[in-house]
Structure 1
Amino acid sequence: MEKYVVNLKQQTCSCRKWELTGISCTHAIACMWINGVEPELSVNSYYRKSTVLTTYSFIVYPCNGPNLWPPLQTPVMLPPIMRRAPGRPKKARNKKNDESTKRPYLPRQSRSVVCKNCKAIGHNRRTCKGKTSTDRTIPKGGNKNLKRQSPCPTPVVAKKQNIGPSTSQTPSAGHQQGDSTSKTQ
């Protein structure tokens, strides 16, 4: 619990709000209620209605516009000559003190990169080194026990393609040789 010291004669409080603003603080108002003093009497005279009325009781005359000013004989004042600053212009503008320096959008989600060649995490296809000689597994007994495999493990037999009728072939059961010659004529 905080405690504040209030002096009603000097119009001061240890929170210093009464001294700075001229309006009594909540601590001072509580003390005034206990002592039976009206809080409106402790407000500084600058905040009273009578002071505002005396301030604006005089008539304020408007001044003439620039068209009615007397002409001057001095030369016209021009702004200073600006020259372009050397170097590349800044891309980001200078922010004011009350502007936030944080970005208005959320940061991008960081995902781990997966290589499409070797499926390893941490690099991509362009920077992939592949398997190195240290990654290779060698069976017991060294390389001597490995049999050399042919590049094509199953032999492929080439089939003859028949292009047109030939007399050396025997006709199948459903076809006759005369039928094939009649179609070509």
Structure 2
Amino acid sequence: MMNRICSLREENYGGEGVVDKVATILERRWKNCAGFQVREVVKGGSQFDVFRPSRGASQPKSNRLLNVNEQTCECGKWQEHGIPCIDAVAYYRVFQMKTMQYILDNHVSEHYKYETINELLKENIVPVSLDVLDQDGVTLPPNRTKRSSGRPRKKRIRKRSRFAHDPDKSPIVCSRCKKRGHNVKTCVAREQLEKQHPAELDLS
């Protein structure tokens, strides 16, 4: 990519106006639209009918509707590419009696001019050294642990209840012994633990 930018910069250095490729396309359209007819749809309006003469079986006679103010044509090329299509060139040549240089100077998008290309290619891509990259939050985001894929573990890690220090205020009521602070699943185990170590149970 760096070599490509450098070669394009050298290739387009010193150019002025519209790039050569676009200028060649417009010159070809200028020559091919010599026999076109342009008619106003409404007097003093911005819409025009451009009639193309027949040029054999491959190109029968046809017409296109052109809007000069909006720079649109029924063929779709003017609004898509930002370059006057052959119907628009016919309007400027046949109806407006303008020159080819007038079209190049006033009706070609700025994207197709050497000044824009030179500005775009003025700075090259700065290469990145892999030796200076580190997960410090500046050059690379910090390393974060990610949950591994697969089925969750069967035994979930229970958090300590905020009522553990005072079971009397706990909303959990055992349906077996009707005491607060535990449920029926751990009721038998609590009774056995209370008999063996009553002091430890009080501190829980």
TM-score (norm. length: structure 2): 0.32
Higher relative contact order (CA 8 A, sep 6+): 2
Greater share of residues in helix? 2
- Structure showing greater radius of gyration is 1
Greater share of residues in strand? 2
TM-score (norm. length: structure 1): 0.35
